[in-house]
Amino acid sequence: MTPREIKQILVVGAGTMGHQIALAAALAGYRVKCADPSDQALKRAGNFVEVYLPQRLDQGKITPEAARRGRDNLEFTRDLEGAAGQADLVIESIPEVLDLKRQMFSRLDRLCPEHTILATNSSFIVSSRLADATGRPDRVCNMHFFNPPVYMKPVEVVKGPHVSEETALTLVEVCRKMGKIPFLLHKEVPGFLINRVLAATHREALFLYDLGVASIEDIDKAIQYGLGHTIPPFRQMDLIGLDLNLSIAMEHYRETGDPKLKPSPILVEKVARGELGRKTGKGFYDYAEMLAERGY
């Protein structure tokens, strides 16, 4: 079995994950369109590219030719229908809400060519819960990048029971071409590999804070220096996005009904205030200065 050739990629959703996945794919030589109905999201995505590429050039991380190729290969658009009609691979990166994703996959199934692979960047929702919304279940798969995708190497490709070998191998090959390190999971499991371990750490850190055992800063420092975590839990949650953390926690709690998995009060409070982490400039920590430097 050999991987299918991929030339055109559509990323659905121009949020932090979506536009960075799109840029990483464009830098790898793929022709990429990143679609979103929000003009504001598209503007923020374009601003990121215009700041990121010169920074990497100044740092000597990429060549002028690579930067030009990445910019030329990438287009941000509101025209989902037009972009979908040319895609060999779609990577969906919209909010972690099952109904929204099912609606999107059903729509993409109608818009995309018959051969197109439909991948979800979901960090929690397995593709078997999306596959029956399409007429191509063998080409519906998880392809989970880590935040920030332009820097982070791991990608989890999760082969559910409906996914063909060709689809899984194709996504693994795309990851490798993008310079990522793919992990192929042969079974679906909630949280996959990395987030399953992370979620347990995050829940315990939140529990300790909610109990008043220690401050956010001291819990983070203890885990960073005591356990050797480069990015400790509260910093990690800010990086992922507190809204995403809450969505995943709520989905898991609804599925299991386990009171131990009920979302933390401080997490709910932060999201209600719009303090979602790095992307909004404030979460458990303040990032206003960092966002200003990146053109946000």
Task: Clarify whether residues 57 and 95 are in a common domain.
Answer: yes
The residue from 127, 195, 245, 264 that is catalytic is 195
Task: Clarify whether residues 67 and 214 are in a common domain.
Answer: no
Check if 156 is active-site: yes
CATH code of the domain in which 130 resides: 3.40.50.720
Residue 258's Cβ-count burial label (10 Å; 0-12, 13-18, 19+) is: exposed
CATH code of the domain in which 232 resides: 1.10.1040.10
The residue from 92, 96, 156, 275 that is catalytic is 156
Number of domains in the chain: 2
Task: Clarify whether residues 164 and 273 are in a common domain.
Answer: no
Residue 2 lies in a domain: no
The residue from 93, 121, 122, 123 that is catalytic is 123
Task: Clarify whether residues 78 and 58 are in a common domain.
Answer: yes
Check if 162 is active-site: no
Domain final residue pick, 133, 158, 185: 185
Task: Clarify whether residues 141 and 42 are in a common domain.
Answer: yes
Alpha-carbon torsion angle 265, 223, 204, 16, nearest 10: 60
Check if 144 is active-site: yes
**Domain carrying residue 152:** 8-185
pLDDT at 147: 85
Task: Clarify whether residues 167 and 242 are in a common domain.
Answer: no
pLDDT at 38: 97
pLDDT digits (tens), the chain, 296 positions: 788 899 999 999 999 999 999 999 999 999 999 999 999 999 999 999 999 999 999 999 999 999 999 999 999 999 999 999 999 999 999 998 899 999 999 999 999 999 999 999 998 899 999 999 999 999 999 999 998 899 999 999 999 999 999 999 999 999 999 999 999 999 998 789 988 888 889 999 999 999 999 999 999 999 999 999 999 999 999 988 999 889 878 877 887 888 888 999 999 999 999 999 998 999 999 998 766 665 55
Task: Clarify whether residues 133 and 236 are in a common domain.
Answer: no
> Could you tell me how many residues make up the chain?
296
Residue 255's Cβ-count burial label (10 Å; 0-12, 13-18, 19+) is: exposed
Task: Clarify whether residues 231 and 178 are in a common domain.
Answer: no
Residue 69 lies in a domain: yes
Q: What single-letter DSSP state applies at residue 280?
A: G
